[in-house]
Amino acid sequence: MICASLTSPTMDAALADMERASELADIIEVRFDYIHSPAVRPFVERRIKPIIATNRPAREGGNYKGDEENRIALLREAAAAGFDYIDIEMDSVDRLGGAGASKVIVSYHNFEKTPDDLEAIHKQLVAAGADIAKLAVMANDIRDTLRIFDLLRGAGAPTIGLCMGEEGVITRILGPRFGSFLSFGALADGKQSAPGQIPIRDMRELYRVNEINADTKLYGVIANPVAHSMSPAIHNAAFREKGINAVYLPLKVADVRRFVTEFRKLDMQGYSVTIPHKVDVIAVMDEVDQFVKDIGAMNTVVNRGGRLHGYNTDCLGALRAIESVMGGDEPLRGRRVVMLGAGGTSRAIGYGVKARGGKLIILNRTVAKAEKLAGEIGCDWGPMDRLPELTFDVLVNTTSVGMHPNVDETPAPADVLKKGMVVFDAVYNPMETRLLREAAERGCVTVSGVDMFVNQAASQFEMWTDTDAPVEVMRNVVIERLRGH
Ligand code: NAP
């Protein structure tokens, strides 16, 4: 069940928000500690979904700073008026003195950490007379969430369990799968009543929390930071489009090796891996693909029967994007490819171009880096100003030149761009860089960084599911997100 936690400051706003939230949530928590001059009866009279009364004191992370007797009196009044649930903190339950026909949620909050004695605290909540026990604790590392999942699995009594904070977000998505009675969400971004809450629309439509069950396959993106990642939107839209029972999670990970090792117990079926973990993660794979060995970086994990296989779909995504506009069986074989840049992306694409039989030249601002990379890949190299003297079929930009906010910059003078050439720019923000605009004006065939981004995600999807990726759906998500920036 999805529960919308309301943080509205006035009665009018709270009643309007309750109505709005009832369209998406299964149950509504009225946070009386946020409401100025609160009254209980209007909520009971206008409720559409079951309602929880909460009047959280500041000592447990709430907004209520007044007299303790008045705080509890409001909860008694809410019970008498017919609220479905009353939330009372463990240290105040004795003072409530019963809640009539309302069910009692006895709650424990810890805004500092996930304590070692979770099970003992849970026992105390149940012993205190909880119809539902609630534990909301802070995750300081994503591995803390495993302890909440263990607690929920073995709870043996109705329990709400969650980790707060960005590292705890997955407990809000997967809690019900492990038996949590409900999962709290915010009415909208910026209206969170606790750190890490997800908007209820995302819980229902993006993560499909209410459809998650024991058979739901788990995937996610390992990153730090992770909040900006477009991958959850892309992959969840793809799973939904294909009717696949799977969910893709944002995983904020500090120590990738310990994370991957300890999360084997959740039997995650696959991961995307991004900054800063693309190199370190290799050490905890059971097997890695040859490209990963060559490139020294990976971005995809596929779980095959408990064994973790590592791949690099940045490379595959770029090749797929470039080759799709060229035609033929081996479109890059024998073609002269100039690649600008000698960083991480250049490395991934360079090995791919070489493996496909392209005649590669790497040009870079820092020439020594071009020389080093070219030495490893086995290709020609030079400074950027060598570009005008070269004859080539494909130009690949892997520098960050032209990227937002420096959108007036370009890594290649327009007069090197000739009709019929293929010009690919790894930069995807903006979607059409100055390089691509000038290339199109001169009759080149252009391939954008969006194509690479979508194709690397599509390659991951296909490895995980053995079905064709819904590429257009995935592309639309990326475009929508980029336009929203
Ligand atoms: P990186 O490892 O930091 O490499 C950056 C490259 O850009 C280096 O070769 C650097 O040259 C060059 N460069 C930076 N500023 C320059 C300037 N003012 N003039 C000339 N060269 C300059 O970065 P990366 O991870 O490879 O990323 C490169 C670009 O690819 C970024 O824009 C990124 O967003 C994009 N990208 C796109 C996708 C996708 O899916 N479309 C995926 C990954 C990356 P020096 O060696 O001289 O510093």
Ligand 1 centre to CA of 358 (Å) is: 21
The pLDDT of residue 126 is above 70: yes
Q: What average pLDDT does this structure show over 102-110?
A: 97
The type of residue at 220 is G
Please report which confidence band the pLDDT of residue 194 belongs to, taking 50, 70 and 90 as the band edges: confident
| φ/ψ (deg, to 5) at 164 | -85, 170
pLDDT at 190: 87
Q: pLDDT tens digits for 236-250? A: 999 999 999 999 999
Please report which confidence band the pLDDT of residue 371 belongs to, taking 50, 70 and 90 as the band edges: very high
Contact 145, 163 (CB under 8 A): yes
Q: Which atom of ligand 1 is nearest to the CA of 341?
A: 9
The pair of three-digit structure tokens given for residue 26, joined into one six-digit string = 């299964």
pLDDT at 189: 87
Ligand 1 centre to CA of 427 (Å) is: 8
Q: Which atom of ligand 1 is nearest to the CA of 365?
A: 47
Question: Which residue has a Cα nearest atom 6 of ligand 1?
Answer: 399
Interacting residues of 17 by C-beta distance below 8 A, sequence separation 6+: 6, 8, 187
Pairing of strands 183-186, 2-6: parallel
> What is the set of active-site residues?
109, 134, 278, 314
Mean pLDDT of the residues in the chain: 96
pLDDT at 357: 97
DSSP lists the bridge partners of residue 363 as 340, 382
Ligand 1 centre to CA of 390 (Å) is: 22
Contact 425, 397 (CB under 8 A): yes
Ligand 1 centre to CA of 455 (Å) is: 19
DSSP lists the bridge partners of residue 136 as 109, 162
Tokens 């070692």 correspond to 116
pLDDT at 485: 54
Q: How far apart are CA 18 and CA 4, in angstroms?
A: 8
Q: pLDDT tens digits for 441-483? A: 999 999 999 999 999 999 999 999 999 999 999 999 999 999 8
Q: How far apart are CA 298 and CA 296, in angstroms?
A: 7
Pocket test for ligand 1, best of 398, 410, 436, 452 (most atoms within 8 A of CB): 398
Q: pLDDT tens digits for 344-356? A: 899 999 999 999 9
Q: How far apart are CA 313 and CA 332, in angstroms?
A: 18
Strand locations in 312-466, DSSP E?
A: 336-340, 359-364, 380-383, 394-397, 422-425, 445-447
Question: Which residue has a Cα nearest atom 43 of ligand 1?
Answer: 345
Pairing of strands 287-288, 270-273: unpaired
- DSSP, collapsed to helix, strand or coil, labels residue 73 as helix
Q: Which atom of ligand 1 is nearest to the CA of 346?
A: 26
Ligand 1 centre to CA of 94 (Å) is: 62
The 8 Å CB, 24+ separation contacts for 54-57 are: 54/5, 54/29, 54/30, 54/87, 55/31, 56/31, 56/87, 56/89, 57/33, 57/89, 57/92
First to last CA, the chain: 32
Residue percentage of the chain with pLDDT more than 90? 95
Q: How far apart are CA 399 and CA 118, in angstroms?
A: 49
Residue percentage of the chain with pLDDT more than 70? 100
Which protein residues touch ligand 1 with a CB less than 6 Å away? Answer: 314, 341-346, 364-366, 369, 398-401, 403, 426-428, 449, 452-453, 456
Q: What average pLDDT does this structure show over 87-112?
A: 95
Q: How far apart are CA 384 and CA 354, in angstroms?
A: 20
Q: What average pLDDT does this structure show over 84-89?
A: 98
Question: Which residue has a Cα nearest atom 1 of ligand 1?
Answer: 343
Question: Which residue has a Cα nearest atom 23 of ligand 1?
Answer: 343
Ligand 1 centre to CA of 343 (Å) is: 6
Ligand 1 centre to CA of 429 (Å) is: 12
Higher-pLDDT residue of 138 and 193 is: 138
pLDDT at 396: 98
Q: What average pLDDT does this structure show over 359-381?
A: 97
Q: Which atom of ligand 1 is nearest to the CA of 453?
A: 40
Question: Which residue has a Cα nearest atom 22 of ligand 1?
Answer: 399
Pocket test for ligand 1, best of 319, 365, 369 (most atoms within 8 A of CB): 365
